[in-house]
Amino acid sequence: MKELELKYGCNPNQKPAKIFMKDEKELPIKVLSGRPGYINFLDAFNGWQLVKELKEATGLPAATSFKHVSPAGAAVGLPLSDTLKKIYWVDDLGELSPLACAYARARGADRMSSFGDFISLSDVCDVATAKIIKREVSDGIIAPGYEPEALEILKQKKKGNYNIIEIDPDYVPAPIEHKDVFGITFEQGRNELKIDDDFFSNVVTENKELTDQAKIDMSISMITLKYTQSNSVCYVKDGQAIGIGAGQQSRIHCTRLAGNKADNWFLRQSPKVLGLQFVDGIGRADRDNAIDLYIGDEYMDVLADGVWEKTFKVKPEVFTAEEKRAWLDQMTDVTLGSDAFFPFGDNIERAHKSGVKYIAQPGGSVRDDNVIETCNKYGMVMSFTGLRLFHH
């Protein structure tokens, strides 16, 4: 197949639309089900690059959950604790494969943002992973292959119209890429930067003790940022992104946005949230929405309106600001990556509130000394990579 006609472009009024290879080459994909659209393919191809590089960097199966050309979550296939299984709604699925764990993490870190995602998997999709995907609201998936039973499970979604793409894992794109904007063609070399342990060797803080897990988490943060719309930052803990901030004009706003997502991820593990008793039959998306309201400032409005009775069997106690802060103070050893330098120490101050201990960023700000000093104040370990990772 040399080209594939699409229903429309980014929006229904943008026609005609298609994807194709120059020089009459064959496309490196097969559409096994559904009719993926323009944005679906943008998510699929960006996500595939992300998980492919995560697998190469860590040796572990990887997954990402994409929305609007940025990842909502990304992770590698480390085992899940009982608590994580519960907050990701997979505690009823029995034993999970490493790939299934990777997707459960990628989907579960920010479930609100992942609603209606496009999935990318580094490995052949197995049955355990397909069972998770089957019951989630999702637009489609790209993977290097599918186990026969897994493919049949996925084909049942959306009355047989779920978008399933198989990509040639050996496909290598041309070293020069092009993009048309306003009738004008842009050309640049592909960002082929390889991220490994050596990428983080320039530690500029007083504390220079980078653990093996921190190096893995730094790799996850940097590779995730490589495919996130800039400005972007990424909080990572134990093999998964827990807060991604994308497309913000101000880096401190980006750090706050992603930090709030990381905080919510940890608050969902608190005894108060784990103890919530939902009414029978309520769906996962409605539970996610209810939890988001419960741990946010809107819960008092929910109580006042009596909405809780439609969601919970028992009226939940208020989760006070003091209780939330006390719980968040237990979050430690978080890694923070940034696609460009931190211009001020205020980003570090915000990161500290979300348990950040390890930081990877390019460096190069005129206030690097202030940023380093702020890291030293909290005993953080910071690496200057020397390379920016903007993505547009």
How far apart are alpha carbons 51 and 73 in whole angstroms? Answer: 11
R_g over Cα of the chain:
21
Largest CA distance in the chain: 64
Mapped onto helix, strand or coil, the DSSP state of residue 251 is: helix
Active site residues: 67-68, 231, 392
Token pair for 174? 């041309």
The label of the residue with tokens 């980006």 reads 254
User: What is the β-pairing status of strands 163-167 and 29-33?
Assistant: antiparallel
How far apart are alpha carbons 216 and 214 in whole angstroms? Answer: 5
How far apart are alpha carbons 127 and 150 in whole angstroms? Answer: 4
Q: How many CB atoms within 10 Å of residue 39?
A: 18
Taking CB atoms within 8 Å and a gap of at least 24, the contacts of 323-326 are 323/272, 324/267, 324/270, 324/295
How far apart are alpha carbons 115 and 124 in whole angstroms? Answer: 23
Cis peptide bond N-terminal to 28, omega within 30 = no
How far apart are alpha carbons 337 and 156 in whole angstroms? Answer: 38
In 3D space, the residue among 236, 292, 254 whose CA is nearest the CA of residue 57 turns out to be 236
- φ/ψ (deg, to 5) at 181: -135, 120
